[in-house]
Amino acid sequence: MKKVKAFPCGTVANMVCGFDILGFALNEPCDEFEVEITDEPGVHIINNDDYNLPTDPEKNVSGAAMLALMDETPDVRGFIIRSTKLIKPGSGIGSSAASAAGVVVAANYLLGNRFSKLDLVRFAMFGEKVASGVKHADNIAPCIYGGVTLIRAIHPLDIVSIEAPLLHVTVVHPQIEVRTSDARQILKQQVLLKDAIKQWGNIAGLVAGLLKSDYDLIGRSLEDVIIEPVRSILIPGFDEVKKRSKDAGALGGGISGSGPSIFMLSKDAATAHAVAKEMEDVFIKIGIDYHTHVTTINQQGVKLVSE
């Protein structure tokens, strides 16, 4: 086998109260990467989309991840990556994580699955560093593992799968730009102990709600007293989207990653579609273009298709 197609999907980092530690994978949208082993030394990137992403592998998210993998595969001379991005960069649903994760999962398949998922996360984090300057794993991990993942610690990397009940997800991507670096910069470096205590109560509640399939507890725990009050001001319509989504029956939700996308979780598909309608109404009223996705949590991670 010399060639495989990988379909890494969008991911939602933070999951409201789990800033930098929780994330989950979506079943759509997904990118498409064709990865091929070649005798030509190095990583060769061919873009099949209109995003004009850099083709220098050191400056390209997929390329940087693949170079990290190649540091540990001296028997391989080169890879060709044919990239078709369908997850819009800057949307806040893990576009760069998909670029990084997709190619290393594909390469690992071609190499006989010699690396663990944890290794693949480690390689893909080099891609995140190119994208945002920070080697964070809260999109990469769910993209590769599927489901809901906890990054318990970064040094050393400790990833835990949090088995979740069936959850329907509605995502709205208002077509505005929120740069990850800006969204990081406005955060305060100190938090009040009393707010931190509220936050860890909610995180513990969310993890327990997921593992116990307790939808009410999940809903009660989807509360963020630290990050959301600061970041939500960068997203016009955020408060109204949240209120109308919950009124329509959503369990709860919030900013996806550093935004501008907003996600909501629901118990059933009908509610998730009703939530999408509310989200769309808000952005029509404000006059901002948007995309919505109504999907479910992806339990599989990166899908592979070999020809």
Residues that bind its own copies (CB under 8 A): 17-22, 150-153, 158, 160, 162, 187-194, 196-208, 211-212, 217, 220-221, 226
CB atoms near residue 135 (< 10 Å) = 16
Lookup: tokens for 283: 């952005």
Position 42: which residue type? G
Report the residue number, 192 or 305, with the smaller CB distance to its own copies.
192
Phi, psi torsion values for 96, nearest 5 degrees? -70, -35
Structure-token pair, residue 21: 């530690």
Q: How far is the CB of 18 from its own copies (least distance, A)?
A: 7
In sequence order, which residues have a C-beta less than 8 Å from that of residue 155 and are 6 or more positions away?
A: none
- Measured from the CB atom, the residue of 148 and 248 that comes closer to its own copies is 148
Strand partners, 47: 83
User: 32-38 and 78-84: which strand pairing?
Assistant: antiparallel
Between 17 and 43, whose beta carbon lies closer to its own copies?
17
For residue 170, indicate whether it is catalytic: no
* Active-site entry in 11, 32, 34, 128: 128
Residue 223 Cβ vs its own copies, minimum distance, rounded to whole Å: 9
Known catalytic membership, residue 28: no
Q: Output the smallest distance, CB 265 to its own copies, in A.
A: 17
Helix (H) / strand (E) element for 5: namely strand 3-7
Give me the least distance between CB of 133 and its own copies, in Å please: 16
**Strands 42-47, 78-84: parallel, antiparallel or unpaired by DSSP?**
parallel
CB distance 22 to 14 below 8 Å: yes
Given the complex with its own copies, which of 6 and 17 has the nearer CB atom?
A: 17
Nearer to its own copies, 226 or 251 (CB): 226
CA distance 156 to 304: 28
Phi-psi category of residue 16: left, alpha or beta, with phi > 0 → left and psi -120 to 50 → alpha:
left
Residue with tokens 């910069």, as numbered in its chain = 185
Closest-CA residue to 288 (of 267, 268, 260): 260
Q: Which of 180, 271, 292, 295 is catalytic?
A: 180
Of 85 and 117, which CB lies nearer to its own copies in the complex structure?
117
CB 87 to its own copies: min, Å:
25
Give bridge partners of residue 265 from the DSSP assignment: 169, 252
The distance of closest approach from Cβ of residue 204 to its own copies in the complex, given in angstroms and rounded to an integer, is: 5
Which residues are known catalytic residues?
128, 180
